[in-house]
Chains A and B, each alone.
Chain A
Amino acid sequence: MSVLGHYNYWVTVFLMTAGLYIVIARGNLVKKLIGLSIFQTSVYLLYVAPGKVIGGTAPIIAPGYTLYSNPLPHVLILTAIVVGVATLALGLALAVRIHEQYGSIEEDEILAADREAEERA
């Protein structure tokens, strides 16, 4: 029960580590952003899953219902999703600008171009 019953946490932990691994291990800027998104998504699950009470309903007072789920995590995560979208959009915009300036979105190629420019200067 305790291992399987916590399966939502296992999914969260998997997404968290997988996302963070992609951010660190990949040199491609867009892949980094994908990893970052997965990492942020894991947090949405961390918040939303425990808010659900099995058998619970939306917190509206009505006859016949006594068990309610907590709606607050959903509201919080709605905000967090907006933040995540804004971060991703800004990150992608930066990647586009970097591609315009360097002609590449591979981190090692960009750094090599910078080193070359510095040696020439």
Chain B
Amino acid sequence: MILAHLPALEVVVPLIAAPLTLVLRRASIAWALTTAACAISFVVALLLAVEVARGGPISYAIGSWAPPWGIEYRVDALSSFMLVLVSGIATVVAPYALRSVATELRGGQGTLLYTMFCLCVAGLLGMSITGDAFNLFVFMEIASLSSYVLIALGRDRRALLASFQYLILGTIGATFFVIGVGLLFLKTGTLNLADMADRLHGESTDRAVRAALAFIVVGMSLKLALFPLHLWLPNAYTYAPSTVTALLAATATKVSVYVLMRFYFDVFGLHLLTRVLPMQDILMGLSILAIVTASLVAVWQTDLKRLFAYSSVAQIGYITLGIALGTREGLTAAIVHLFNHGITKGALFLLLGLVAYYTGRTPISSVRGLARSMPLTTFGITLAGLSLVGVPGTAGFVSKWTLVLAAFEADQWWLGGIVVATSLIAVAYVWRFVEAAYLSAPAVPSPVPRDRPLSMVVPAWILVGACIWFGFDTSYTVDAARRAATLLLEAAQ
């Protein structure tokens, strides 16, 4: 009985937990509830993934209104992959919040953070699971509005302006998206994504459809921080509380990439993207610019959180590069990197939060000689940094390897060269941390030794462990990604 309603539970559990945390007021109870809600979502996501792998896509009619009239929740290989990533990261990050939030936030605001945390997770899960274009917009706004609040909760007053700028750009992005959906709705008379795709075939070169494509791509590019539209991201990641940075960096932009892929391949199809409009070429150009520019900018940063924020912009470039190739291997690489970059950045920002727990801030000067006072944390950041570079034996290597192979297979040898060359720039910015932490004399005054809360250390190391684990065992990531890519390309033909 309850198993039939798993798709609804996935979203409803964190959504109901959100107001409950607000009513219960006590931060510790709110924290326990948040952790429990995320864990339940994770279990449900795993059950759904097993179910989809065994029996194919699941369609769930909300309120028993049959699609395409009612809202449909649709779980297929790709969306179940996203659900596992989002709920998994949330489950790891939520326990971490307890101590980190207590030190980083003013009293009384802790409870609010948990409320927003639950809402944000519910929104992101909803975006991944829904098969309805307008429902997707509503979930996107739930996730966005709560993440604006989460960022504004940062201790530094600059967090407020960062949040405001993100609110402006994020709302413009969401509105562009909804304009695109509106044009598609006028054209097809339906909001169900699968139904929309069916009706568009044959007349997909219409001007309204082309305009809709442009609006949706620009809107989602703002949300996923594609290169010239990434301006909100560095400040938002730098000034948000550590917990929030880890959650958003690992999930929010990734879900936006997922939405872009859905519309690209499921709704519009390859004919429109390659023959009618040069979408793939534009995306490829922007991706390369993102990778090169953002990597170079990252090298010159003086704050570690900002450094890794720019690195995120570059890594998103690798993901969109895979999408721009438009082949099965390219898409596989994109989806694998979505996952691997999520866990790598999650690990990095959690460990940086641990550094901030001791030093208060994260400028590079504050981590000088850190290897002596915090050897394990330093080692963890180095490991995650290696995964960012793509050193063999780490998750990052698997995705870069898949991407380079995809480039070769598409006869774009030079692209493979760019991927390898830009990985060397990543070496440069990771080296800045390594140099400061291992080779410099300790900062004066050296960080005050405090207790090491297990609730912060364990989640961070789970993600570092995942970076290594998925560097060796690719059976889950690459195979699931390949299934998802095959499905997308079948729909796109």
Contact = CB atoms under 8 A, between A and B. Distances in A.
Contact of B175 (A39, A73, A90, A95): A39
B164 A95 contact: yes
30 contacts: A23-B168, A23-B172, A32-B168, A36-B168, A36-B171, A36-B172, A43-B179, A46-B179, A73-B185, A76-B191, A79-B134, A83-B137, A83-B138, A83-B141, A86-B145, A87-B141, A87-B145, A87-B171, A90-B149, A91-B167, A91-B168, A94-B148, A94-B164, A94-B167, A97-B152, A98-B160, A98-B161, A102-B157, A111-B161, A114-B161
Chain B interface, >50% SS class: helix
Q: Among A20, A46, A76, which residue has the most Cβ atoms of chain B within 10 A?
A: A76
A99 to B, nearest CB: 10
B198 to A, nearest CB: 18
A18 interface: no
A94 B152 contact: yes
B148 A90 contact: yes
Interface in B166-199: 167-168, 171-172, 175, 178-179, 182, 185-186, 191
Contacts of B163: 94
Contacts, number: 65
- Size category, B interface: 20 to 34
B238 to A, nearest CB: 12
A97 B160 contact: yes
| Interface residue SS majority, chain A | helix
Contact of B167 (A47, A79, A90, A97): A90
B158 interface: yes
Contact of B145 (A36, A79, A90, A101): A90
Given A43-B175, A87-B141, A87-B145, 13 more contacts: A23-B168, A23-B172, A43-B178, A43-B179, A79-B138, A90-B148, A94-B163, A94-B167, A97-B160, A98-B160, A110-B161, A111-B161, A114-B158
Contacts of B161: 98, 110-111, 114
A40 interface: yes
Contacts of B141: 83, 86-87
A40 B171 CA distance: 9
